[in-house]
Every structure is written in C-alpha cells, then in structure tokens.
A and B are shown apart, each in its own frame.
Chain A
Amino acid sequence: MTLLPGVVASHARFRVNIPAIWILAIAGAAAACIPLVYLLVRAAEADAEAWSKALTDGTARLLLNTAGLTLAVTGASAALALPIAYLTERTDLPFARWWRSIAIMPLAVPSYVGAFAFIIALGPNGSLQDLLAPLGVESIPEIYGFFGAWLTLTLFTFPYLLIVIRAGLRDLDPGVEEAARTLGQSAWSAFWRVTVPQLRIPLATGSLLVALYVISDFGAVSMMRFDTFTRAIYVRLGTSFDRSSIAVLCLILVALVAVVLLIDWSQRRNARYHRLGSGAARMPRLVRLRRYRWPALVGLSLVCGVALLVPVGVLFHWLSIGLQGGENFPGIWGAALNSVYASALAGAATVAVSIPIAIVVVRRPGFVSRLVDRASYVGYALPGVVVAFALIFFTLRITPGIYQTIITLVFAYAVLFLPQAISGLRTSLVRVQPGLEEASRSLNRTPWQTFCSVTLPLIAPGVMAGFALVFLTTMKELPATLLLAPIEFDTLATSLWGHQEDVFFARAAANALLLLGCAALPMIILFGNDRGLRN
C-alpha cells in the first residue's frame, strides 16, 4: 500500500517511523504464516483422492464437534474470567493480592495433565465417587466425552481471558465509572452498563485466544475421547506417514480458523477507547462486597480448587507412591532450568516481535493492519507438530546452521504464541492517548526515544501480561519442543511426557509439580508483588 512512498519519505520530517514499523510488523506476521506456506506446498502434492477422503461426512461431524466445543469453552471461560477479574481488581475481596496470582495458575497445568487428573478424580470409580458413595450417590455424570473436554479446557484456559481482561480493567479511567455512580447507578449496574462495554476489546482478544487454543488442543480431547479436528489430525499422523493428506486436513482446519477470525473481524468496529483528557488522577475506589463477600470467596475457591487442587492432589498422590518405593528423579533440575530458560527467551522474543504489530494494529487502523493482525493468528491455531514440520522444512532449506538450536526453538514458540503477546499489549496500547506520543515527537524526540520514554512505560502492564502469557504457554508446550529443541535439551514438559509414556508415574508427577512451581515463581514476581490499586 503506502509502503513504498513511506520508504521514500523516510527523510521527511513527518511519519519517519512508518516504514520501519510497517516492515517489522509485516515481517512478524509473515513469520506466523510460515506454517501456512508449508501446508500449501505439501497439499499441492496431494492427489484428488486425498482431497475426497478428507471431505467426507466424518469431516463435517468433526468440524461440528470442534465448533461446538470451541463455543462452549469460550463462553464458559468468559463467564469465569470477567467476575474473577473484577473481584480481584476492583473489590475489597480478602487476600485479593494472592487470588490475583492463584487465579492465573491453572494456565500452567498442561491440558493432558489436567485431563489425566480429572479422569482419576472424577472418572468412574474415581476419588469423587469414593467420597460420595457413603452418601448414597451411585454414579456421577460421565466425565468422558464432551463434558470432560469442556470442563478441562475451560478450567485450564480461562486465565488467558483473565489476564487480558485484567490488564484492560487496570487501564480503565475510574472517572467514567464514578460518573455513573454519582448519576445514581448501583455498583452492579455501573459494572454492566459502563465497565463491561469498555472491556469489549479485552473480551474479544481474550476470547479469541481461548477459542483458537481449544481448536488446536490435542491433550485434553484425546484423554477425554472427544473427537475434534485436531485429534483427527494427530490420529492420522500416528497412523499414516503421508504428510500431504495431513496437510489437506490442516488446510480445512485453517478454513475453520479463518471463519473464526472473520467473525471476530466483523465484530470489531473502529471504536476509540483512549481518554482525551488526562483522566482521573487517582485509583478507583474499591467496591465493598459486604454480604457478597463470602459467596465470592466460596465461588473463587471452588474454581481454583478444582483447577489446581485436583491436579496437584493427584500428582502428590503419585509422587508419594513413588517416594515410598524409593524412586529417584534423574535430570529433573536440569530440565527445570531448561524450561525456565527457553520459556523466558520465548516470552522476551515474542513480546519483542509483537510490539510493532500491536502498534500498527492500534495506531494505523486500516485494511493492511487488520490483515497483519489476523495473519499473526495462523501459527497459534495450528497443531504444534505441524508448525514443527514447517520449521524443519524451512530451516533445513534456508538456514541449516540453526536447525535444532535454541534459536529455531524460540522462533517456533514465537510463531506459535505471537497472538498471546499481541493480546496482552494491545489492550494497554489502545488506552494510550496518541497525543502524548505526538507531544513527545514535537519536542524533537525520535520515534525510538518516544517509544522508550512515553509509550513503553505506559504499556508496561501489557508488556508484562504478554510476557506472562507466552512464558506460561511455552512451559507446557510439547510437540514442537520434542522435535525442534537442541538434542538432549530436556524440558519439564518433555520429561513429563516421556515418563508418562513409559508409565513412570511418580517421575512424571515430580516433573509436573516442578513445572507448576516454576510457572508460579514468575507469576508471583510479576503479579503477586504488584500491589495493584491498593497503594
């Protein structure tokens, strides 16, 4: 579009930053589309038979299953995340500071571990059944199938929405809400009529993160025996080694993702959410919960209890069995170090790549920036193993020197999780008044200086949110890590997988618990220490 004139005009006084930022943003989005190019290359090799096999009635059923699960999980996640975000940020909830960290911890539980724990605890003849048996409860609802997949995915993905909504909530001007209150609205109605509508962008971006995660998940649906499209792709991969027919299936998945992205596109209008004035120069008043205090605490405990205590309980049970049997845990500390190292790098690199994209999306609205935005979601929605194949294909052809090094691995994580970092950032960025940046520019600061001294400090909560999202998701990433990590670079997720595969449950449990611990640490540093609105 305006790229070429922009480059030519780079010595002019105005819009000097346009070309650089556009180039960076487009390059980032293009990287996320690498798997798509690979799929097109492989699918081009497919014959007509592969296509006709892929387009059967069974495929339609799989698509329906996938769409149904995606909608159900996204809806339920929003229903959990919105009240929890509000309770922990805006009310006098006891121990709010701790709840803020605890409520996002379920994100660190890999979906296959969570599903495994739920089956043991809630499955037929599981622990819950044993507990309820004396009370005369003969059977509990079937965990397998849609219900189990829905429950698992909801409880372990709703924090994606929570983190994004919370960043949005924090950036809201409390004055607007207070104005509603002075005009006679109750706290409840101010929340629904003033706060929630202002959270539309965080809600939409967070929902998209959850929806696409569900589409690409394999762990939970396979354990819970619910047929989704991604499960079918993995089953096909495990049984035939015909990569072109797998590519055909993946392209159908991409079509489904495109529909989701288009729905989201049409939902967003060119609304402006930043303040024009300086806003209220104070923190919002905390809403007093009064008699709702206990119900809120009970509800929060229930959600976090099921999402955290059930997996942790099951894991400790396995660990204690192993410890009694004198089990040893070889290599576990090295794996922990590798996990934290790779995840921190992934978080940093992904946030760095996402900043230009977020700026372009928020500051230069238009067709191209929307396209850049949508394109960045492609890698995220595809099964991790397909992204791994794509990077094997391209790195060996273009830069064989970095194949199976930490660089390729971090690059893969960035391709996979770019939208998470963007989501964290854009929620903060939409609140930053462009006038501030323009003022800085008019004072002869360069775009880079402006970014560092004005924009970056203002979007720091978004940067942290984006980093946290990518860090947590990388900690539990498995398929791409197995194939692309430097050889013998064990992480907690890969060791956990290996031990579970070999039926060394105690070792698997130790790895899983350490994974949760390693994930908790940065969360407490980033969010627990943060006194939020309370100082």
Chain B
Amino acid sequence: MAKIRVGRCWAIALALFGMLAIAAIACSEEPEQPSSPQHNELTIYSGRGESLVGPLIERFEEVTGIAVRVRYAGTAELASAILEEGDRSRADVFYSQDAGALTALAESGVLNQLPDDVVTGVPEELADASGRWVATSGRARVLVVSTERVPDPPDSIFDLVDEEWRGRIGWAPTNASFQAFITAMRQIHGEDATENWLRGMLANDVVEYPKNSPIVQAVGDGEIDIGLVNHYYLHRFIADDPDFPAFNHFTDAGAAGGLVNIAGVAVLKASRNSENALRFVRFLLSEEGQTYFSDQTSEYPLTSEVDVPANLVPLADLDPPSLALTSLSDLEGTLELLRDVGALP
C-alpha cells in the first residue's frame, strides 16, 4: 500500500514537472513579441463575439494576407485592459460592441486619429467628432414581443408603464445598449420624463435580466411578454428554431425608443501596425464588410451603398433620434439616475 502511494506520488510529480518544463520551453521558443512594421500582422481586441465577426476577420486575412490575431472578451473588460496596458498595449485595433467604451478610450487619449475619408464614410453622427473612432454597423432598439400573448403591442415605450403591462416587461439595466437608450431618452424627452418613466417601470414590476439574450429567451419561454432589447438577438433564436414565438416591434419613430446603437472600431496610439490597423477599419466599412453585416449578422449597414436587410425597417423610416452619439457619453449622469431610482445596485 505504502509503496504504491510513493510510486504514484513520484509519478504524478514527474508528470507535473514534465509539463512545466514543456511549458517553459514552449514559451522560451516563442519569438519575441515586439513586432516591427515589416511583420505583416495585426492584433485585434474584440468585444464582439467570434461567432459573429470571426468569419469576416478570416475574410480580411484572405484578402490582404495579413496575419490577424484576435483576443475576444467583454467590451468593458477589454477597454479597461487597454487602459491598464497604456502605451504598452498589445492591441492595434479595438473593436467595440458599443459607443460608450470607445468614447471612454477616446477621452483617455489612447486612440489614434482616423483619416477624414474613413470617418466621412458614415453618417456624421455615427463617428467621434474628433475622428478617433467610427461606427461599423448598427442595431435598433426594439421591443421583442410574444407572438402568442401580445397581438397588438404598444407603439410607444411610454405606454409600458400602464397597468396592463404589470410584471410583463423585461429589461437589462446593466447593459450598455440599455444605458445608451436611457441617455438618449434624457436628451430627447428631458430628465423629469425619463425619471418618471423609470420609476413607473419599476413600480409596474418590470423584470430585470443580466443582458439582452436572456430577455429574448424569457419572452419565448413565456416568462415575460415584452422585452426591451437590440433587434438582432431574435435572429439568432429564429435561426435555431424557426417557430420561436416572438417578433421584433419598432416603436415611436424619432423618439428614444427608436435609438440606433452602434458597434465601432478604433486604432490605438500604441499600435505598431497602424497601417494594417487602418486597412482593417477600411475593410469593415467596405462594401464587402457592410454586406456581411447586412446578410450574416442582421445588422444595419451604415454606408450608403449597401441595403438594409429585408426584415428590418429602413433607417430612414425608423427616423432614429438625430443626436450625435458622442453626446451619449454623458453616461455618468445616466448611471446616477439609474442608481437613484433603484434600477442599478
């Protein structure tokens, strides 16, 4: 018994140290990171998921021959990591799920100026005023509605505080898109109206979710009847289950309910491959890139030459609130309001 134990103990120890040794060798053989410009490579920190944008990035590699390496993680975590890395950042490009993180990085001074022709490719309000980031695709705020239980959904988000909807609505107050929507609401409808609406929703037993996709799930499961989400999550559910019992409903054109959120991209000052980084930005805004968003991820393309997907209300009809997205950077005020009314911890 004792002998067996000793033998096994040594075997385990040997195996473990063997692995450590292999790891050490593997690491020491890895070429030194500092990639001089002649290396044809690019490093992207992507807050957008691999399933969504991975194929597009592969296409970019095929077209340009640039070797791209991507770190996928949450947008907020990556933005904070980039700030922590500072001028030693390993990222060339930051590809963000929302405008808030891009604005925060721009204000911290870690982003490079983009050339004018890149920024002017999209509508004016969809890029940073100083040209430090640019939007690449858009997502509309919609109500995701149960096909079975809500034949006639309300046309204004302000109707959601009615008694009729008590306990039947879901939202995700910790989600960046939701917060951008509240910021837009404050600017379009005023502080008081926004606060009243928030308090009304809470008093109406609105159900809280951690993010968008569980809301869509909950509408499908019958847990709630209406959810405040971005439009494109439903397409994933319908791709898996064509009978998924929910549909997207666009609300009040011109009001905050019709806000278009963006995914966007920026080049870092610390980038050692800024030429390649710029080529990637241009690729996302090219016809091929924009067509990909329209066809594959059911998002709004933002340049004029590509049509919006057939199942979406065109941007022009949507009449999204015409506010510069950078004015959405008054996030702190929104967060304070959300905390005051008790929607955020």
Contacts and interface: CB of A to CB of B under 8 A. Distances in A.
Identify the interface centre among A58, A119, A238, A385: most chain B CB within 10 Å of its CB: A238
B165 interface: no
Interface in B174-189: 174, 176, 179
Interface stretch (A132-140, A158-166, A343-351): A343-351
A436 interface: no
B110 to A, nearest CB: 11
A237 B78 CA distance: 11
Nearest to A506: B240
Nearest to B105: A241
Contacts of B335: 239-240
A305 to B, nearest CB: 23
Nearest to B80: A241
Nearest to B339: A58
Given A348-B19, A406-B26, A410-B23, A239 B76 contact: yes
B90 A321 contact: no
Interface string A402-418: 11111100100000000
Interface stretch (A86-94, A97-105, A496-504): A496-504
A325 B243 CA distance: 13
B49 interface: yes
Contacts of A120: 221
A488 interface: yes
Interface string B83-124: 111101010000000001100110010000000000000000
Interface residues of B, number: 71
Nearest to B78: A483
A313 interface: no
A502 B49 contact: yes
Identify the interface centre among B32, B73, B233: most chain A CB within 10 Å of its CB: B73
A191 interface: no
B213 interface: yes
B279 interface: no
Interface stretch (B1-9, B194-202, B256-264, B305-313): B1-9
Contact of A225 (B105, B208, B237): B208
Interface residues of A, number: 70
B69 interface: yes
Contacts of B73: 482-483
B27 interface: yes
Contacts of B26: 406
A223 B74 contact: no
B192 interface: no
Interface stretch (A13-21, A204-212, A284-292, A457-465): A457-465
A174 interface: no
B223 interface: yes
Nearest to A529: B8
Contact of B223 (A58, A124, A227, A535): A124
A523 B70 CA distance: 33
A487 interface: yes
Given A232-B345, A392-B84, A238 B236 contact: no
Contacts of A225: 208-210
A160 B210 CA distance: 27
B79 A125 contact: no
B81 A503 contact: no
A345 to B, nearest CB: 6
Contacts of A464: 12
A272 B74 CA distance: 49
B74 A238 contact: yes
Given A235-B174, A499-B51, A402 B72 contact: no
A62 interface: yes
A351 B17 CA distance: 12
A321 B239 CA distance: 11
A290 B321 CA distance: 74
A479 B73 CA distance: 8
A393 interface: yes
B275 interface: no
Interface in B292-331: 331
Contacts of B214: 119, 223
A238 B176 contact: yes
A506 B241 CA distance: 11
A405 B17 contact: no
Nearest to A388: B81
A60 interface: no
B25 to A, nearest CB: 11
A168 interface: no
Interface string A57-69: 0100010000000
A58 B214 CA distance: 26
8 contacts: A235-B345, A239-B331, A243-B84, A396-B88, A460-B8, A460-B9, A482-B71, A501-B49
Interface of B: 1-2, 5-6, 8-9, 12-13, 16-17, 19-20, 23-24, 26-27, 30, 32-33, 43, 49-52, 69-74, 76-81, 83-86, 88, 90, 100-101, 104-105, 108, 174, 176, 179, 208-210, 213-214, 216, 221-223, 233, 236-237, 239-241, 331-332, 335, 339, 344-345
